[in-house]
Structure 1
Amino acid sequence: MLKYIVKRVLQAIPLMIAITAICFILIDLAPYDAVDSLVTDKMTKEQIEQRREEYGLNDPVYVQYFRWVKNVCKGDLGYSLINKTNIAKDMSVKIPNTINLVLPSYVTAFMLAILLGLLAGYKKDGWIDKIINGAASVGLAVPTFWVALLVIYKFGCDLKWFPIVGMHTIGDESFGDFIMHFIMPYSVLIIGFLPDLVRYVRSSTITQLSEDYVLVQKAFGSNKMEILFKHVSRNVLLPLITKLGMSLPMLVTGAVITETIFSWPGIGSYFVNAINKMDYPIVMDILLLSGTLVILGNLLSDILCALVDPRIRVEGE
């Protein structure tokens, strides 16, 4: 297993280089850059060029790329071109805020999906299945931002039950105030995560119920609930664990739209603001983080599957 992990990590290095190089080139090909957002009507062409030279934007793209990679390898994520703030310090504040929002939402959706998906798969084509599967289909079709706007309008503007934006009221850092700000984006994310997970569990449940071991358990006199929750659910969890590991990037980038709409001070809104201002050091650092989490998520999925299924361990050995 250790040999396999080392092999996968070594394979990830050229992949990360390719991802960052492509992203860096695409950003360089954009018609605007960070200096354009700083230009004023009073600035002369010489002053604009001086700014470009100061930021190193006149250097060839490969020079800029290798300079950025060199700094990242030293642990220096650089500074925002617009705000002049340290990106590493900004991200150390933003990432925990995002995790505090996304992790509870995804775990809640995950647990609900197991229950609803097993029930829908077990009652295939019944009225319970039609309700759950229909709701999941509608949830997949409805954009998250639209749900967020409806929630804000109804519970924030109309009923005024919850505050609309931010993570805290200015001057109030209490846990109760945090919860009041937390409930609406938390609910929107659950609605966003749940449909895909429910359909995934439902599909796996239907597949498992057609396997021979289910007939064997029925022949031995096992009741339906025992077969469903003791035997079928165990086999359904294996592909679901793979999906759980691959969802690791969501902890950082899974709530970009929701964070932006609710002005939640997380990595998502930080990323969107950087894109709008063409603050490419921030954009590149977040893309690097996201790519790293994708690779780690795939690796984590393989490890979890090997731990759960002994057959995979044997094949690996």
Structure 2
Amino acid sequence: MIKSMLIRRLAGGLLMLWLISVLVFVTIHLLPGDAVTSLLGHDATPEQFESLTRQLGLDQPLLTQYVTWIKGLFTGEWGSSLVSSLSVSDIVGSRMENTAVLSIMAMLVMGPLAIGIGTLSAIRNGRAFDNVNSVLTLVLSAIPGFAIGVLVIYFFATNVFHWLPAASIIDPEKSVWLQLDLVVAPMIAAVLSMIPYPIRMVRAAMIDVLQSDYIMLARLKGLPERRVIFRHALRNGLGPMIQALALTLLFLTGGIIVVETVFSYPGVGYELVQAVNHRDVPVVQTIVVLLAAICVVINLLADLAVAFATPRLRTKLL
């Protein structure tokens, strides 16, 4: 059962990645402007345009360009940036490390907070804490990610407090792990913009569990409320919690682009925005497909985790 489920998920994920690669390739070529004009400017001669177009391989038919790019993805030959001439793998590799550090820090803060606040809100359903939590999560979910980033800069870096740097400009000569103070501000912005969803999901899951028959039976047996919550309710609500955190990680993969751009944080999101502005086709295509692949892997791992965390599903799979 597990093997068949994995095969189905992998097949669906590969099909999705192929469709995304086609969509990205077509979209990037439909955007106004082109890389040659971006590099040479509008004052270049037709001979210069023709020479650079041929040099970059942009004179080939679109199908040929697509097949060459797809082959490169599988062989590790991701090409070179049209702007800097650097290897795309080198560019993406360094940026991916920065994004990974930011995402890990955000999830380490967001996961326990979401589970704790969501569970406490469910326990105190309809009371003051739950009402305040509902209002705050509603307000946060209504504020765009870039606006939250600006507010974090305003309160913690410039006008109110001066605790954090306003821009997270990482020194490329040093490891990002040695510059974690520059990651704090974008991490706070990422957490604030993403946390309303998992809090609401955890709260809804825990309310459903706390109203179930076996929880009522445990309470009728006279078990301490702490034991009912930690030994029974949380264990049975683990599946929905994993789904909520996995979906949050998926949202974070996309939302990190906005956060990195606001703070000039040199991750894959910021690099993607710069590449789109300069029509750097190889970099754009590679980053988008890599982000899509990460989302597919997260979905697959989340499905497996939920299956093993839910007794009924685990029994069917095994």
Question: Residue 69 of structure 1 aligns with which residue?
Answer: 70
| Cα separation, partners in 2 of 1:54 and 1:249, compared to 1, 3 Å | farther
Give the letter aligned to residue 123 of structure 1: R
Question: Residue 298 of structure 1 aligns with which residue?
Answer: 299
Question: Is 2:146–2:259's contact at 8 Å kept on the other side of the alignment?
Answer: yes
| Cα separation, partners in 2 of 1:175 and 1:22, compared to 1, 3 Å | closer
1:9 is aligned to 2:24:
no
Question: Residue 228 of structure 1 aligns with which residue?
Answer: 229
Give the letter aligned to residue 142 of structure 1: I
Cα deviation 1:189-211 (Å, max 9, x = unaligned): 12112111111111111111221
Question: Residue 285 of structure 2 aligns with which residue?
Answer: 284
* Aligned counterpart for 2:164 among listed residues 162, 174, 179: 162
Question: Is 2:202–2:244's contact at 8 Å kept on the other side of the alignment?
Answer: no
| Cα separation, partners in 2 of 1:194 and 1:5, compared to 1, 3 Å | same
Question: Separation in 2 of the partners of 1:91 and 1:199?
Answer: 34
Cα deviation 1:249-280 (Å, max 9, x = unaligned): 46754411111111111111111111111111
Give the letter aligned to residue 164 of structure 2: F
| Cα separation, partners in 2 of 1:16 and 1:22, compared to 1, 3 Å | same
Report the Cα offset of residue 50 of structure 1. Answer: 2.4
| Cα separation, partners in 2 of 1:268 and 1:207, compared to 1, 3 Å | same
| Further displaced range: 178-187 or 288-297 | 178-187
| Cα separation, partners in 2 of 1:61 and 1:144, compared to 1, 3 Å | same
Question: Separation in 1 of the partners of 2:195 and 2:209?
Answer: 21
| Further displaced range: 249-258 or 40-49 | 249-258
Question: Residue 52 of structure 2 aligns with which residue?
Answer: 51
Report the Cα offset of residue 243 of structure 1. Answer: 3.1
Report the Cα offset of residue 17 of structure 1. Answer: 1.4
Report the Cα offset of residue 102 of structure 1. Answer: 1.5
SS of the equivalent of 1:89 reads helix
Question: Residue 20 of structure 2 aligns with which residue?
Answer: 19
Question: Separation in 2 of the partners of 1:174 and 1:219?
Answer: 53
Question: Residue 98 of structure 1 aligns with which residue?
Answer: 99
Question: Separation in 1 of the partners of 2:53 and 2:173?
Answer: 40
Question: Is 1:249–1:290's contact at 8 Å kept on the other side of the alignment?
Answer: no
Question: Separation in 2 of the partners of 1:173 and 1:106?
Answer: 20
1:189 is aligned to 2:178:
no
SS of the equivalent of 1:204 reads helix
Report the Cα offset of residue 53 of structure 1. Answer: 2.2
Cα deviation 1:35-61 (Å, max 9, x = unaligned): 121233431123212222222223222
Cα deviation 1:124-163 (Å, max 9, x = unaligned): 1111100111111111011221122122123222333222
Report the Cα offset of residue 248 of structure 1. Answer: 4.8
Cα deviation 1:19-43 (Å, max 9, x = unaligned): 2112111111222221121233431
Question: Separation in 2 of the partners of 1:56 and 1:302?
Answer: 41
Question: Residue 214 of structure 2 aligns with which residue?
Answer: 213
| Cα separation, partners in 2 of 1:250 and 1:196, compared to 1, 3 Å | closer
Question: Separation in 2 of the partners of 1:71 and 1:172?
Answer: 30
SS of the equivalent of 1:255 reads helix
| Cα separation, partners in 2 of 1:191 and 1:311, compared to 1, 3 Å | same
Question: Is 1:152–1:184's contact at 8 Å kept on the other side of the alignment?
Answer: yes
Give the letter aligned to residue 240 of structure 1: M
Question: Residue 135 of structure 1 aligns with which residue?
Answer: 136
Question: Separation in 2 of the partners of 1:310 and 1:63?
Answer: 50
Show structure 2 runs of 5+ residues with no match. Answer: none
Question: Is 2:194–2:252's contact at 8 Å kept on the other side of the alignment?
Answer: no
- Calculate the TM-score normalised by the size of structure 1: 0.92
- Calculate the TM-score normalised by the size of structure 2: 0.91
| Cα separation, partners in 2 of 1:314 and 1:113, compared to 1, 3 Å | same
Give the letter aligned to residue 166 of structure 1: S
Question: Separation in 2 of the partners of 1:60 and 1:170?
Answer: 37
| Cα separation, partners in 2 of 1:148 and 1:247, compared to 1, 3 Å | closer
Question: Separation in 1 of the partners of 2:18 and 2:174?
Answer: 44
Question: Residue 201 of structure 2 aligns with which residue?
Answer: 200
Question: Is 1:248–1:293's contact at 8 Å kept on the other side of the alignment?
Answer: no
Question: Residue 270 of structure 1 aligns with which residue?
Answer: 271
Report the Cα offset of residue 92 of structure 1. Answer: 1.3
Question: Residue 114 of structure 1 aligns with which residue?
Answer: 115
Give the letter aligned to residue 189 of structure 2: V
Question: Separation in 2 of the partners of 1:18 and 1:46?
Answer: 36
Determine what percentage of the aligned residue pairs are the same residue.
28
| Further displaced range: 150-159 or 189-198 | 150-159
SS of the equivalent of 1:82 reads coil
Question: Is 1:35–1:51's contact at 8 Å kept on the other side of the alignment?
Answer: yes
SS of the equivalent of 1:81 reads coil
Question: Is 1:259–1:266's contact at 8 Å kept on the other side of the alignment?
Answer: yes
